[in-house]
Amino acid sequence: MRKTSLLSISPDAMKIKGKKILVTGGSGFIGSNLVNKLEKLGARVFNYDISKNYDILDKIKLSSVVSRKFDIIFHLAGLSGSVTESKQNELYFSVNTLGTLYLCDSIVKYSPTSKLVISSSRLEYGIPKYLPVDENHPTLPTSIYGLSKLTATQLALLHAKTHKLDTIIFRTSNVYGPHLKKTFDGYNIVNYFIDQAQKGQSLTIFGTGNQKRDYIYIDDFINALLLAATSKKYNQIYNLGFGQGIKLKDMAKMIIKTVGNGKIVYRQWPKDYKQVETGSYISDISKIKKELGFKPKIDFKTGIKKTLK
């Protein structure tokens, strides 16, 4: 397994040592980084991932694993991306929404003392009405993906209210960092652009590229997860990002400059992408700073260099 640095991990994360932890989707980009760091911190980790024949929609298998009782459960399993054909819409709700429902039901029944930390998406908000976006912003998703994540969030909060399920949910902006997968599934644009630049290929931007995005490095993201898991806070939603906006075209230029290869190509918006485009997004991270003591440490230029290493 690839070695990663623990320099950005909060001292509070040492509370993880010896804990029994379940990670759904632990073989994905975020999951593999999280599992690696949890193991380095001395946790006992179970990776529940489709690649290991553990399907989040398999209620019997899921319940069997959850019944082993865990101190902390990180829920990362899900179908990602906001652009899809209508024939796949049912799959988004099956994996993202029903999968979360089945997990919550299993925890309530078989491991009621577990703390559940869910990674959701900024796309629950839809098109921002103001910037930066705080947790009180209206939730009006523009995509089936965003709606499936919002419904999953509401289901988790409902379980928290009716069954006292200890839950924290993150609405996350764009996460990037060291990764193994080199294919593009319509999301994780930073990692994809880094891979394209390294191969000397074009970085395609639709429209002008003036829309701003909030990018958070994987170590900062995982630090927030660990802070949530070891905190006394529960039944809360937190926006998670760096808290600053960078224009899409400037992000691409920084990658090309740092890698020393690649070029930008501007294209017209494809219809399916244009329909779900949300425009600029910047996270208001005041709440997570105040309540969890979170402070991102890796700026974008540094994050690119760390990813390349």
- Please check the confidence at residue 6 and state whether its pLDDT lies above 70: no
Among the listed residues 108, 121, 94, the one whose alpha carbon sits nearest the alpha carbon of residue 239 = 121
CATH of the domain at 31: 3.40.50.720
Contact 172, 228 (CB under 8 A): no
Average pLDDT, rounded, for the chain: 92
Each residue's pLDDT tens digit, 111-124: 999 999 999 999 99
Domain that holds residue 113: 11-176+218-242+281-297
Q: Is residue 124 part of a domain?
A: yes
Give the C-alpha distances (Å, rounded to integers) separating 303 from 5, 108, 155. Answer: 13, 38, 34
Q: Is residue 171 part of a domain?
A: yes
Q: What percentage of the chain carries pLDDT values higher than 70?
A: 91
Q: Is residue 116 part of a domain?
A: yes
pLDDT for residue 5: 47
The mean pLDDT value for 31-41 works out to 96
- Please check the confidence at residue 218 and state whether its pLDDT lies above 60: yes
Contacts 24+ apart (CB under 8 A), 40-45: 40/4, 40/6, 41/6, 41/9, 41/13, 41/14, 41/16, 41/17, 42/16, 42/17, 42/18, 43/16, 43/17, 43/18, 43/19, 44/18, 44/19, 44/20, 45/21
Q: How many domains, in total, are found in the chain?
A: 1
Among the listed residues 141, 51, 53, the one whose alpha carbon sits nearest the alpha carbon of residue 97 = 141
Q: Is residue 92 part of a domain?
A: yes
> Which of 1-10, 228-237, 241-250, 269-278 shows the lowest mean pLDDT across its residues?
1-10
To the nearest 10°, report the CA torsion of 287, 28, 215, 129: -60
Output phi, psi for 154, to 5 deg: -65, -35
pTM, two decimal places:
0.92
Each residue's pLDDT tens digit, 244-289: 999 999 999 999 999 999 999 999 988 777 777 889 999 999 999 9
